[in-house]
A and B are shown apart, each in its own frame.
Chain A
Amino acid sequence: MEAGRAAKVQRPRPAPVVTRRGVRLIAAVSILVAVVLFLIVVNPFRGAGPNVGQQAPDFTLSTSMGGTVTLSAFRGTPVLLEFMDVDCPACQTEAGNVLSSLFGNYSGRIRFLSVDVSFVGATDTDARINDFRTRYNTPWEYALDGSGSVQGAYGVRSTPTTFIVDRNGVILQILHGSQPTGYSAYAAALDVALGI
């Protein structure tokens, strides 16, 4: 009985030897793996997009209701430019809880434009976008960036990402993700754009 227990519970024996050569090799492997992970996560080669204070890149896209929309055509009026995806849960929450209320209060003074970048879920179409507009009561213009060219020009890598653009087409603020403070975060940015 004792002998059997002793056979099962083995005492640690002298540790296997780690050689200097092994340590050097493993250090090299570690650096290699760390660099690969860093490049994947940070991806410094990706386009950075414009910053606050820079001109918002102009673009023309087809809208989900037919016709086209050109950002520079909105000059003279501040713009809330949202990059979103109809399948993105955060975009759904933001549209239903925040943006629709904002539109109710600011639509006469601010132009709203959402660009669907089709990041996640099924490939987006005008029909899917229009379903989204109806479901979340967001009646402003939506455009589909099927090629990803506008997304690339703005360096958008997450949805929702919202640019507040002033009357002259200059970016005043960039809001990444859904805002913890909700309505007030957007309202504060729009008030700045309106000079309030």
Chain B
Amino acid sequence: MAREGLSRGDLLLLVAVLAAFGIADSLYLTWQWYDTASASWCDLDTYFSCTKVRESTFAAIGGVPTAIVGVAGFAILLSLGLLALRGRDALGPWPTTRWLLAFASSGAAIGFGLTLVEVFVIQAICILCVVGFALVLWILAVAGIWLR
């Protein structure tokens, strides 16, 4: 059921646009991880520091930057949003919007876990990571509340 005033198509387009921004955000973080020559540009102080988070052991798993998971996750959300927008109502056993909800929930859970790690373990906040988390929460809200 779509929110009053916005059609189902509007909401799916919104999901796709938010996911596209999520890809851009995650790609930038990935590039920052590989760019070892300099520190990040999103440092405001020692607490709000992308650099501090990037230099932590949580920024990569087995040499692969965590941000790549974000790129892949947002790419899946973008694909699902575009498929639904083109009229594909179901993929396999589930409606497309349920897939959307499932992937957005997974993304939000991962984002929530990483945010907890930032606050309590690394003790620094990467604002661009928080923006990614906010984007996936937004997609989750759209998929979970209005697109069900």
A residues near B, CB below 8 A?
A: 8, 10, 12-19, 21-23, 25-26, 29-30, 33-34, 36-37, 40-43, 46, 87-90, 118-121, 148, 157-159, 161, 176-178
Contacts and interface: CB of A to CB of B under 8 A. Distances in A.
B62 interface: no
Given A13-B87, A15-B9, A158 B38 contact: yes
B110 interface: no
B10 A40 contact: no
B40 to A, nearest CB: 8
B137 to A, nearest CB: 13
Contacts of A41: 28, 41-42, 128
Interface in B21-39: 21, 24-25, 28, 36-39
A71 to B, nearest CB: 22
Contacts of A89: 36
A120 B9 CA distance: 45
Interface of B: 5-14, 17-18, 21, 24-25, 28, 36-46, 49, 51-52, 54-55, 84-90, 92-93, 127-128, 131, 135
Contact of A43 (B42, B52, B54): B42
Contact of A25 (B10, B39, B51, B92): B10
B55 A120 contact: yes
A39 B57 CA distance: 27
A118 B45 CA distance: 11
B28 A12 contact: no
Contacts of B38: 90, 158-159, 161, 176-177
B25 A90 contact: no
A18 B89 contact: no
Nearest to B28: A41
A34 B53 CA distance: 23
Nearest to A17: B9
Contacts of B44: 43, 46
Nearest to A41: B41
A-B interface, 9 closest residue pairs, ranked by CB to CB distance from nearest:
A22-B10, A177-B37, A16-B9, A158-B38, A158-B39, A18-B9, A177-B38, A120-B55, A12-B87
Given A36-B131, A157-B43, A159-B39, 19 more contacts: A14-B87, A16-B9, A16-B84, A18-B10, A18-B85, A19-B6, A21-B6, A21-B10, A22-B11, A25-B6, A26-B10, A41-B28, A41-B42, A46-B44, A88-B55, A90-B37, A90-B38, A120-B49, A120-B52
